[in-house]
A and B are shown apart, each in its own frame.
Chain A
């Protein structure tokens, strides 16, 4: 593209981080309000698609040097390992567990193992979406 994309590129630099933060917010809000790993992952993927629209494949690959297929596999492994943790404790598969912890900055927070499962879902969604877009849109 020869035309000057200054406005698109500059606004993308700002908007990208807003979408990114919103995706993280939606992800963590999933337990009590609408949201969760799937929507969060799609939002993150759409933020990267916005980068792809404003810049080109090579630049985005330099900025975010991820292997998206590997990301998908790792997401799957995280989700599966979370569910398979029940094998160690000899309770039915997929039995989750939670407790409250005191963190330095956040204060008293509950951690639920369902969140780790959702991290897996998040990574799989981002990985799959960008693998598809890379395969279709990338130069052969």
Chain B
């Protein structure tokens, strides 16, 4: 089956389209929506097994030879992200069956989510820079639908901002691709890497590299460009927020990782130093935000920004250990952010409030939520046996090996901020004197907790059994640092 690479993209697209035909039936929407995400997860796990066994998988669409047709490339990094994205979409859809409300569910929620998964999987998989732009637009269009879904006042305001920022970023993306195309005359990423390697170091190429950093930085939320993120992510309903927080910024991070390890490696001293500075600034400003708020959603949203900085620090350090650590931490962060947002969702559902000062004493009535939340916070901060640890320690090791001493210290200290900001939610909401809430029925709480607990178990398993997964991540690091593997797979491996 040579088309296995394509399946994680077309399965959600197909089922999302079929869902448009049954827009009135709640049962069909829920069943097919969950089935679509589950099927995507199954095919991406097959592909993961295939990539782990046989190396990088390539399909060049339409049987045209590599630099002329569009290549879809599945290396370890892309398939790990595709599998994680599909898993999270499945669990968040399951959660939203219980929490979103019928009216929103019937307003194209499931098709839009599946189309967003299509775009995200496509962006992770594509080997063509213009095709990357197209897949960016696919998931952005779907995310415009999701952010405005329900049409509350705050959603209209924030979706307006979100759309304007992303339209500007998209225009800049096209312009940047135009520059790159006028320099090299090709759009295929592997071919670009070869051509730019031949040209060598040139001022205009560094300029284009920084322009790509700006474009992807707007999506990823790095330091001067994250201004839209806290407001826009505050607006949509919680399942949507969980999807956005876990997946959307990560596409930006993936794109930066891809172009800065594959294409723009000729002038590392300039481009990667720039990335390093921005990553450190992102961590600092994210930390300020995370400590400043007493609003549960805002605290976790600013934690996204901190994690973006930590991951990009690993990419900027640009050695195999640090990049491997970045990938480990990236997967961990997707899992744990989705988990935290869903838990916050249950918390807000119970109390009906988002301000921490109005909560208290929940541990007596909701012990499962309380203790799983505490462990999830420890995982987020990276306390040893849990999932954040292995990635961060490798990032720090790589950073020190690269000679970035004070930067590594900032990254290590950011752990304290993360722990402090997230543990405050535990202290305020679960400890202390009980405040009166109009507590919802127990059955509804249990329904919501099932997908949350499943995700919790997966996240913990990812941390505890990381030893068994390490070969996959080491392969990822090797593939990322040795771009000739990617180039040979795309350009050399024609069958």
Interface residue ranges, A against B (CB under 8 Å)? 69-70, 72-74, 76-77, 80, 83-84, 86-87, 90-96
Say whether, besides A69-B20, A70-B21, A90 and B13 are in contact (CB < 8 Å).
no
> Which of B58-66, B191-199, B332-340, B377-385 participates in binding chain A?
B58-66
Smallest CB separation, A82 vs chain B (Å): 12
Smallest CB separation, B188 vs chain A (Å): 15
Say whether, besides A70-B21, A73-B20, A90-B3, A95 and B10 are in contact (CB < 8 Å).
no
Q: Is B258 an interface residue (CB 8 A)?
A: no
- Show 25 residue pairs from A and B whose CB-CB distance is below 8 angstroms, ordered by the A residue: A69-B20, A70-B20, A72-B20, A73-B17, A73-B18, A73-B20, A76-B17, A76-B20, A77-B14, A77-B18, A80-B10, A83-B10, A87-B3, A87-B6, A90-B2, A90-B3, A92-B2, A92-B3, A92-B61, A92-B62, A93-B61, A93-B62, A93-B72, A95-B61, A95-B62
Leading 9 A-B pairs by shortest Cβ distance: A73-B20, A94-B61, A94-B62, A93-B6, A95-B63, A76-B17, A92-B63, A73-B21, A92-B59
What separation, in Å, do the CA atoms of A91 and B69 have in the docked complex? 14
What separation, in Å, do the CA atoms of A87 and B6 have in the docked complex? 10
Smallest CB separation, A132 vs chain B (Å): 14
Q: Are A84 and B60 in contact (CB under 8 A)?
A: no
Q: Are A80 and B17 in contact (CB under 8 A)?
A: yes
B2-25 vs A, CB cutoff 8 Å, 1 = contact: the mask equals: 110010001001100110110100
Chain B contacts of A74 at CB under 8 A? 21
What separation, in Å, do the CA atoms of A44 and B318 have in the docked complex? 54
What separation, in Å, do the CA atoms of A74 and B20 have in the docked complex? 9
Chain A contacts of B10 at CB under 8 A? 80, 83-84, 93
Main secondary structure of the interface of B (DSSP, over half): helix
Smallest CB separation, A140 vs chain B (Å): 14
Say whether, besides A86-B3, A87-B3, A93-B6, A77 and B17 are in contact (CB < 8 Å).
yes
Interface residue ranges, B against A (CB under 8 Å)? 1-3, 6, 10, 13-14, 17-18, 20-21, 23, 59-63, 72
- Nearest-CB residue, chain B, relative to A91: B63
What separation, in Å, do the CA atoms of A77 and B22 have in the docked complex? 14
Chain A contacts of B20 at CB under 8 A? 69-70, 72-73, 76
- Nearest-CB residue, chain B, relative to A96: B62
What separation, in Å, do the CA atoms of A30 and B203 have in the docked complex? 42
- Nearest-CB residue, chain B, relative to A73: B20
What separation, in Å, do the CA atoms of A87 and B63 have in the docked complex? 13
Smallest CB separation, B106 vs chain A (Å): 13
Q: Are A80 and B2 in contact (CB under 8 A)?
A: no
What separation, in Å, do the CA atoms of A74 and B62 have in the docked complex? 23
What separation, in Å, do the CA atoms of A74 and B17 have in the docked complex? 8
Smallest CB separation, B105 vs chain A (Å): 17
Say whether, besides A92-B63, A93-B59, A69 and B3 are in contact (CB < 8 Å).
no
What separation, in Å, do the CA atoms of A105 and B17 have in the docked complex? 36
What separation, in Å, do the CA atoms of A96 and B63 have in the docked complex? 9
- Nearest-CB residue, chain A, relative to B5: A93
Partner of A92, one of B17, B23, B60: B60
